[in-house]
Each structure stands twice: as C-alpha cells, then as structure tokens.
C-alpha cells in the first residue's frame, strides 16, 4: 500500500466475518491466481484498514484494474477492536479457483504478519497450496 497509496495511512486491522479468502483468475505478473473474498458463513478474513485519501483513491482504483473490470469495489462491515466500521474492498470479478504463486502467497503472509495477524492465520497463508517455490 505504501507504493500504491502513499498518502493513505494504516487505520487499523479487523475481521471480515462471514467471508473466506480464496484465489481466482490468473495474473501473468504474479504467475498465478489472485486473492479475493467470497461469502462463507463459517469463515473470516483478517484485513488491514487504511484511511485512503481522495488523492490516492483514483490511483488505487487504476492499480486494481477497475477501468478494465478486473475488480468490483464493494462496501463491507469490518469488525475491529473498537467496533464495527464500513470499508471499501476490491473483489475479483473472475472465477474462483486456480493456485497463487509461492511468491504471491509470501507477500500476503508477510503483510499479514507485519500487520499483527494471529500466528495461526499467517501459518495458514504460508502453507496453502501454490504454484512453484518462489524466488
């Protein structure tokens, strides 16, 4: 996010209750499927919240491929230690399925760990099935 939205500070962390992290589509740059979320009443996803400035919002939309229809931008309720907040999320507009690259999973796991995700959540990310062994 520091590269994609440099004027938007981290605002906290939380959980998307009733959603599951999954992968879909295919990206040549990342050499595999991309992360997204799908509804699942028995799951939850750790998220990092940012206070996205108007200056960064357009750049972030372009980075996520909104102009190309790669993602839908949806508003969901996130449970934080301070209560419930509404947040915008990008959801991949592609089929669910496919494997992410080991490199991509490593980036996700490192980011989750740096943000304070529980150790078991990070371990689950690091041990998910993936393509290749990464650089």
pLDDT at residue 135, as a whole number: 47
Six-digit token string for 132: 């290749």
Residues 73-99: tens digit of each pLDDT: 889 999 999 999 999 888 887 778 889
Instruction: Pull the structure tokens for residue 58.
Output: 């357009």
DSSP 78: E
pLDDT over threshold 80, residue 65: no
Band of residue 2 on the pLDDT scale cut at 50, 70, 90 = low
Dihedral (CA of 24, 27, 31, 36) sign: negative
Q: Is the pLDDT assigned to residue 23 strictly greater than 80?
A: yes
Where does residue 32 rank: exposed (0-12), middle (13-18), buried (19+ CB within 10 A)? buried
Number of other CB atoms surrounding residue 133 within 10 Å: 9
| CA 67/CA 31 separation, integer angstroms | 22
Is the pLDDT at 69 greater than 60? The verdict is no
Question: What is the pLDDT of the chain when averaged over all its residues?
Answer: 83
pLDDT digits (tens, 9 = 90+) for 97-121: 889 999 999 999 999 999 999 999 9
pTM of the model: 0.82
Domains of the chain listed by start with CATH number: 10-126 (3.10.490.10)
Which has the higher per-residue pLDDT, 40 or 58? 40
Q: Percentage of the chain surpassing pLDDT 90? A: 49
d(CA 48, CA 112): 8
Tokens for 79? Answer: 């449970």
Phi, psi at 25, each rounded to 5°: 65, -160
Q: Give me the mean pLDDT over the 53-65 stretch.
A: 66
């Amino acid at each position: 996010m520091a590269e994609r939205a440099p004027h938007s500070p981290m605002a906290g962390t939380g959980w998307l209750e009733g959603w599951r992290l999954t992968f879909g589509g295919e990206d040549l740059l990342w050499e595999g499927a991309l992360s997204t979320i799908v509804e699942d009443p028995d799951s939850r996803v750790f998220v990092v919240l940012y206070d996205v400035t108007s200056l960064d919002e357009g750049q972030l939309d372009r980075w996520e491929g909104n102009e190309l229809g790669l993602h839908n931008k949806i508003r969901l309720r996130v449970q934080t230690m301070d209560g419930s907040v509404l947040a915008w999320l990008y959801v991949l507009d592609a089929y669910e399925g496919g494997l992410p690259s080991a490199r991509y999973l490593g980036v996700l796991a490192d980011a989750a760990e740096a943000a304070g995700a529980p150790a078991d959540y990070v371990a689950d990310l690091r041990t998910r099935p993936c393509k290749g062994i990464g650089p």
